[in-house]
Structure 1
């Protein structure tokens, strides 16, 4: 059974964080460090990856602009620096490397148009953002695989806003109204255009069939917070595990920001996996992760969390294969 992480790490020591991300889990990842500023968080990095967009932070919120502003230029520079550090520390790395990017629907729900109002409310604008993101993702994959020829990029698309987008629950900029719901077909189409491998959603109510089902968004895996996995969600996920999809199980709670004991974490994972009766299939298709990013954690607690995950993965693997 494999282990990995979701995205962010605390602090601003990018070099130490990259080394931790390469050494502490079986599926390494390129971390984000939001403590550096808005350009280094999920939305800033997503806009920095997108090709051909202008954006800037205005009054604390990201707005599309006619030309790249200072914060977008910082986002692109921070990503280049992070990739340089990754290349320096990951020479000889082979196998999967997970890279996260904000998805088109979370960007549309978070970013404002030049004169106000969310991108989500403008059908043309949200398609433009998705296409710019898709082009940037293709460039990012190629850049990483050029720098690290032995690596296969696993693209994690972060979509915490997707359930709200589909439910018509995203508030307008002023907060008095809600944007109308987006049709499932359009939601799937723009996700397919970006072309991710794993869709991560730390909000409850994700439509698993939209992500993994035939005719859906085309992802090979889904990353979910164990706290949000209801019996109905497990009923939707289990057949996809048997069919060869992956579940990145957010089993380690990130609130409060304290590393769990491996014994407690093992019990927590087995409590939900044993009833599925999938045996070795679960061991092969499930990746254990924290439930969400770790940006708000004390740096001293982070290594202990990944140590507990590694011990838990070994124990659960033995149990399911025994």
Structure 2
């Protein structure tokens, strides 16, 4: 099945958010996201609430038969579910309740997010203190636990919002570092060995394949391994457009022509006022011309997003960034040349 056939048709401008939103009010965040992103809303994440609502902690709460707690050094696996695990699951439940409230009767695509196995392994310590990434067996356990947790999470969402066409975003910002021996050890004095690219690909494929829904891999770092992600089964790749260089041209061109959807992070996640939506996507048009791609593919192959999550923005700027993304996506559809 091609990437194009698995990604749902959007009923409006192709725009969405990365995941995180400012503040601590789940219902206000759900209202903002569903009101601003009519074609592809997403489940908001609110890391301002503290550990367990952060990207990594939230996904650790999804794991089955693996539990983690917060230590001074960060997240660490433990023997049993403790306060931090219960808090992560409780906050996710609040977010799901709020999203369900604001998606009554929804019958379109809906994006959810979870941290992928490689970034989890690079972020969480084992009980003895080293990063889980240092232990191949621990990585396999994380991937298997995450797969089961996602299966249960998706089943819950399908019960809550039966008309939704679910799209999963796997957050893998650490993947380029994992592949190039740039993940520090727990002490910080050394770097962990690079993971073989074939192993990384197979781990992602074993997670993505059985889920039976389109999976987008988000990586807001340089050197995103596009061919690896395509072979692993990703229907789309989400990246910070400002980090692309001409070295990425061939991989992007091949991905687009193969049906991969490009989630282009072109709207600043924080920063100055936004005034020209068409200007925000001018780089996308330039890339299209440079690669000789069909302009008619722009609206079908590009989804406009902020460059990263919006947790660091003010509520007013977050709302503006989402609406700006929608207007920018519409400009691509209206004026592909």
- TM normalised by structure 2 equals 0.91
> Does structure 1 residue 313 correspond to structure 2 residue 337?
no
Report the alpha carbon displacement of residue 263 of structure 1 after superposing the two structures with TM: 4.4
Secondary structure of 2:189's partner?
A: coil
Count residues in correspondence: 318
Cα–Cα, structure 1 residues 183 and 139, in superposed 2: closer, same or farther, change >3 Å? same
SS in 1 for 2:262: strand
What secondary structure does 1:51 align onto? coil
Query: Given the alignment, which residue of 165, 179, 185 partners 1:152?
Result: 165
TM-score (norm 1): 0.95
Report the CA distance between 1:260 and its aligned residue. 5.0
Residue of structure 2 in register with 1:23 after alignment? 35
Whole-angstrom CA distance in 1 between matches of 2:109 and 2:221: 26
Cα-Cα RMSD: 1.5
Query: CA contact under 8 A between 1:199 and 1:221: conserved in structure 2?
Result: yes
Per-residue CA distance 1:222-269 (angstroms, 9 max, x = gap): 001101111121320122212211111111122426445324324344
Report the Cα distance in structure 2 between the residues aligned to 1:32 and 1:50, rounded to whole angstroms. 17
**Displacement, 1:208?**
0.6
Query: Any stretches of 5+ residues in structure 1 without a counterpart?
Result: none
User: How far apart, CA to CA, are the structure 2 residues paired with 1:140 and 1:110?
Assistant: 22
Q: Which portions of structure 1, spanning 4 or more consecutive aligned residues, are displaced by more than 6 angstroms?
A: none
**Alpha carbons 2:270, 2:312 under 8 Å: kept:** no
Partner of 2:219: 201
Alpha-carbon distance between aligned partners in 2 of 1:260 and 1:225, rounded to the nearest angstrom: 20
| Rounded Cα–Cα distance in structure 2 between residues aligned with 1:282 and 1:59 | 46
Quickly say closer, same or farther: Cα 1:180–1:258, change in 2 above 3 A: farther
Q: Runs of 5+ in structure 2 lacking a partner? A: 1-12, 209-213
Q: Answer yes or no: is the 8 Å Cα contact 1:40–1:75 preserved in 2.
A: yes
Q: Is the 8 A contact 1:160 1:203 kept in 2?
A: yes
- CA distance in 2: counterparts of 1:83 and 1:154, whole angstroms: 15
| Residue-by-residue CA offset, 1:189-208 (whole Å, 9 max, x unaligned) | 22122226000000101111
Match of 2:308 in 1: 292
How do residues 208-247 of structure 1 correspond to structure 2 at under 5 angstroms? 208-212=226-230, 216-247=231-262
Relative to structure 2, which stretch is displaced further, 200-209 or 183-192?
183-192
Mean Cα deviation higher: 289-298 or 76-85: 76-85
Q: Does structure 2 conserve the Cα–Cα contact (< 8 Å) formed by 1:257 and 1:296?
A: no
Question: Is the 2:277–2:324 Cα contact (8 Å) retained in structure 1?
Answer: yes
